[in-house]
Amino acid sequence: MIARNSVGAGVLARAVMGLTLLSGFAFAADLKAPKQATAGESITITAADSGHLLLFGPGGATKRKVSAGDVQIPGEDVRAAGRYMAILDDASAEFYVVAAKPSTVNFLARPSRVPVSRPDAISGVAFVFDEFQNLFLKPAPVKFDLSVKENAPATRTVESKNGIAFTRLPSASKEGAAQFVASVAGGTPVRRVVQQVASDACDLRMKAQKTDKSIIVETDPIKDCSGNAVPDGTIVTFIEVTDKGRSTVDARIKRGTARAELPLSSNGTISVASGVVTGNELHLGGGQ
């Protein structure tokens, strides 16, 4: 019988609370609280009686002795966004705290290293937070800047959805450490570095010179199709095919060019390749 009465009272209380929420205030018996508050800003709860006010929220719980009337809840007690519940004896009230204005972003930039001149190769994801590290769920403009050295930055402004803003940008045509920056108005920009590196070799060319003991082959300075120097250490394969057989040397680019020593021969061909890119071919004893 008692249990049934308690259930009935609960249903009634929730119905009353629902009605009061519609009217802008939540109160249960003798507690009134605003329906919504902003993180970090103080709020006022009206209590009909004195006693111990308990406040439960996502960031913790507080207990304070209050007198009947308006009770000031300081901003630091409602920093965490989410649902709160105030309880005074057998009365209670619920309210919701939303994030304060955007002030910071957490920024993920991928990849850390990308070849030049690739469309949509760089992605940036920004998570918008207020100063109390609450995710800002309302739409907010996030600015993404991507710049290499002294070149003008590529800028894109994206409105966040549910706290997240996402963009894709092409890599620039010049190699170097690109500064990828995400920011919100009035907030601190967050910087990531995306290393833009030379792409595959382009127009790979070599020349050969006979010595007493061998043939020295050396490439011209190796660059990609945008004119960036292919990094030192990259493998360049020289292949000499003669009637004695085939000779190969996997040379490394050093100071922009690759060089190798091949067996001396008066006929045959020499070719050059780097990865899947092939270069010119030289005919020994022939035209070249």
Binding site for other proteins (CB under 8 A): 106-113, 190, 192, 197-198, 200-201, 231-236, 244-252, 254, 260-263, 274-276
What's the min distance (Å) between Cβ of 98 and other proteins? 24
Among residues 77 and 240, whose Cβ is nearest to other proteins? 240
Among residues 138 and 192, whose Cβ is nearest to other proteins? 192
Q: Report the alpha-carbon distance of residue 69 to residue 64 in Å, rounded.
A: 14
What's the min distance (Å) between Cβ of 234 and other proteins? 4
Say which amino acid occupies 221.
P
Among residues 98 and 225, whose Cβ is nearest to other proteins? 225
Among residues 222 and 282, whose Cβ is nearest to other proteins? 222
Q: Report the alpha-carbon distance of residue 33 to residue 92 in Å, rounded.
A: 9
Q: Report the alpha-carbon distance of residue 88 to residue 287 in Å, rounded.
A: 100
Please list, residue by residue across 76-87, b when 16 or more beta carbons sit within 10 angstroms of its beta carbon and e when fewer do.
ebbbbbeebbbb
What's the min distance (Å) between Cβ of 157 and other proteins? 19
Please list, residue by residue across 123-133, b when 16 or more beta carbons sit within 10 angstroms of its beta carbon and e when fewer do.
ebbbbbbbebe
What's the min distance (Å) between Cβ of 257 and other proteins? 14
